[in-house]
Amino acid sequence: MAISSTTNSSLEQISSSYESSEKKKTQKEDALGRDAFLSMLVAQLQNQDPLNPMDGTDFSAQLAQFSQLEQLINLNDSMENMASAVSQNSEGDMMSYLGKQVTGNVNLMNVDEGTVSGGFYNLSKSADIMITITDADGNTVKTLYEGQQETGAHLISWDGTDNAGNAVEDGSYQYTVLANSGSGYTQVPSSITGKVDGVTYNDGKPYLVVQGILLDPASLTSVMNGQDQTGGNSGDSAVSYLGKTVSANTSIVLVEDGVVAGQELGFKLDKSETATVSIYDVYDELVRTISLSSDDTAGGENSVHWNGVSNSGNQVPDGMYYYTVKTGSGFADVGVKEEVSGIKYMNGSQYLVMNDSGRLVALSTITGVN
């Protein structure tokens, strides 16, 4: 009697079903993965000798091996996801912000199982307020008419429903605050200042918790030591310098709302001599020259007052400026050595805020840390 291999229709269905479901997933190329293992097992069962089938013990052992392989692959995927998340978030060092006083721009509210994280905005004067809330695709899901609101800080109360009264899906929603003080609606920048009470994750992204509001670390405009903070963490990030005394070979003069931070421009001389203080903007354009006679200077520490006015007599625009001091014997030392009291975000970069003078220091100009 001729003996031939038989085909098991149930095994074919299992194999077809498995292959069909796996095509929907992104497969990784490995030497002997889940797909190859199961294919070999099914092929072995389909082509076994019907008069001498596989021993039940051997079959159970192979199934156990497959189960172990499945668990190892799942564990490997989980570890890769965890490593990816840690890699993406390690640069910001979220935990180092705990207890710090921060200021950041806010325009997101998050919905989690129907619970909405609060939005926030500030008014410099009373105005009629309208708020539009959009989804990730930019579609407007809700318009809130808040009416006339007084000067000060305000929380946004949204119940997580759209304009039709239906609950929206969980996720992040952007809001825009429009204010009308009598001359039409204009957008109101929303910002919040407060202590970082915690760190939370939404859709795999870390957020700082400030006054119950989720704040994206990328939106920070300043970071200050809290009252209970005495120093930063070790590392190369700007946050790690908080509370420490740093030395820098140059400093930046900040002008905000027409006010010069610190106002006094410091420099050191070996002896009393004439000096010319030149102040430049970020484009290296000379905006002000201040001439000092030898009677106005002395050996050691010196300073000159600048009120933010240019050579033409006009108030300079808000922004960052630097200065040099030239004498008959060369350029004077304009470096600083002070305790770092905060961090300022300007033009996408971090600068250290010096406690006494209010000067800004770029990380690249630091020459020493105590």
Task: Verify that 327 and 218 share a domain, yes or no.
Answer: no
Kindly state whether residues 172 and 145 are assigned to the same domain: yes
Mean pLDDT, the chain, integer: 76
Q: How many domains does the chain have?
A: 2
Domain membership flag for residue 43:
no
DSSP 316: P
Which residue among 224, 254, 280 closes a domain? 224
Does 322 share its domain with 243?
Answer: yes
pLDDT in tens, the chain (370 residues): 444 444 444 445 444 544 544 444 444 444 455 566 667 767 776 676 666 665 555 665 666 666 676 677 677 666 666 555 554 444 446 777 888 878 777 787 888 887 887 677 777 788 999 999 999 888 999 999 989 988 776 778 888 899 999 999 988 888 989 989 887 888 887 777 777 878 877 667 788 877 667 777 877 877 776 543 333 333 346 777 888 898 888 888 988 888 888 768 989 998 999 999 999 987 778 999 999 999 999 999 998 999 999 999 999 998 889 899 999 888 888 888 888 888 887 766 778 888 878 888 887 778 888 7
Residues 209 and 311 in one domain: no
| Same domain, yes or no: 328 and 257 | yes
Amino acid at 152: G
Do 211 and 181 share a structural domain? Answer: yes
Residues 163 and 255 in one domain: no
pLDDT tens per residue, range 87-139: 444 444 677 788 887 877 778 788 888 788 767 777 778 899 999 999 988 89
Q: Is residue 189 domain-shared with residue 275, that is, in the same domain?
A: no
Residues 185 and 249 in one domain: no
Tell whether 211 is covered by a domain.
Answer: yes
Domain assignment present for residue 121? The answer is yes
Residue-by-residue DSSP string for 107-166: -EEEEETTEEPPEEEEESS-EEEEEEEE-TTS-EEEEEEEEEE-SEEEEE---SB-TTSP
Q: 285 and 216, same structural domain?
A: no
- The answer to whether residue 212 sits within a structural domain is yes
CA distance 63 to 57: 10
What is the C-alpha separation between 10 and 21, in angstroms, rounded? Answer: 17
Which residue segment(s) compose the domain that 164 sits in? 96-224
For residue 51, is it within any domain?
no
